[in-house]
Structure 1
Amino acid sequence: MNHTRRTVNRLAAVSVVVGLLTAGCTTGQGSRGTDDDRYPYWEKGAGASDAVEFMNLELPQSATQVKGAVRVQPQERVYLLSFLTSEETAESIADDLRSEHPLKADPDTDSLSGDGFEHLGLTSPQDIKGVRTTGVCPPCVGDERRSNVQGMEIHVGQDSGDRVRVYLAAY
């Protein structure tokens, strides 16, 4: 009898703890969950330097019209960076990502940046004719410099003259 009472008391205690934990994880009336209208939003004050730091990149000295932003989503932040540079510099940045695939034109490519570059006043890379792109999972290719980055992509599109616009997105 004593053994049965202890078992019942333990089950009751476990039920209370599970109930409290479950109540803390659910949304009640008037409470905000992760699917509410707070997401996504743009992190105030975050810009190009935040993106450069997160992506562990060295911004080329020749870069002009540098723009960046951080979009906060329920599960992660997406860091956006864009600038103008030479074709040669853009190619070396793409090579530095250590992607298993070279830059190539892919008109049906979706981007993890979504319409984020429009937030920066830029044409979305998916809307640029002839844009070349590649992506990489830094931990998957053993890039210990970017072990905190789950995924990166680069888009390179012709701008004017000998300049190209580089679009980088990472999360």
Structure 2
Amino acid sequence: MSSCSAADRDRVTRDPYPYWEQGAGASEAADFMKVNVPAGATEVKGAVQANPQEGVYFLSFVTGAEKAVQIAEDLRSEKPIHTKAVDLPPDQELFGHLGLPEPQTLKGARWAGVCPPCVKDHRRGSVQWIDVYVYDMAGGKARVYLHAF
């Protein structure tokens, strides 16, 4: 005999996850990640995807290439930002929700991943993981992609 109620069974069978939180955008994502979008950044976009265990936060913007690298370095990854030798295409659309290509599909995009608790980054105590991609563009600009949970 099951101990869950009919309402619990209904909730399980009608599970809406994942879904995109309405009204949550770049400011919510930047606040969660404790990332300052640089003054003058353009094409600032963000979203929050709700999941049963935790939210997943997405933030992207275009800034100067040097500033983009500084943002990546401020995350305090144990390894420096680097071009990944091989990356698989994504199994789901994430940044596509923002109208952007998935960063791991961009040739030459540099990546770093960081576990803020592991590197004792107390500024980001509620963040378990952050992926950052920096994709160089024309004119000394770069697009920064941040994905955190």
| Alignment-derived partner of residue 102 in structure 1 | 80
From the superposition, tell whether residues 135 and 51 of structure 1 become closer, same or farther in structure 2 (CA, over 3 Å): same
| Residue identity in the other structure for 1:117 | F
Q: Equivalent residue for 1:161?
A: 139
**In structure 1, which of residues 23, 36, 39 is the aligned counterpart of residue 4 of structure 2?**
23
Among all aligned residue pairs of Structure 1 and Structure 2, give the percentage whose two residues are the same amino acid: 48
Give, in angstroms, the shift of residue 166 of structure 1. 0.3
> Higher relative CO (CA 8 A, sep ≥ 6), structure 1 or 2?
2
> SS where residue 63 of structure 2 aligns?
strand
TM-score calculated relative to the size of structure 2: 0.89
The amino acid that maps onto 2:79 is H
Paired residues for 1:116-135 under 5 Å: 116-135=94-113
Query: Which of 70, 91, 94 is equivalent to 1:92?
Result: 70
Establish whether residue 80 from structure 1 lines up as the match of residue 58 from structure 2: yes
TM-score by length of 1: 0.78
Deviations 1:27-75 (A, max 9, x none): 53xx132x75511110000000001100111111131110000011121
**Cα distance between partner residues in 2 of 1:125 and 1:36:** 32
**Equivalent in the alignment of 1:70:** 48
What residue ranges of structure 1 are gaps of 5+ in the alignment? 1-18
After superposition, the C-alpha distances for 1:66-89 in whole angstroms (9 at most, x for unaligned) are 000001112111110000011110
The alpha carbon displacement at 1:159 in A equals: 2.3
Larger Rg: 1
Amino acid across the alignment from 1:87: A
* Structure with greater helix percent: 1
Cα pair distance change 1:137/1:111, threshold 3 Å:
farther
Q: 5+ unaligned residues in a row in structure 2: which ranges?
A: none
Q: CA deviation at 1:151?
A: 0.5
User: How far did 1:111 drift?
Assistant: 9.1
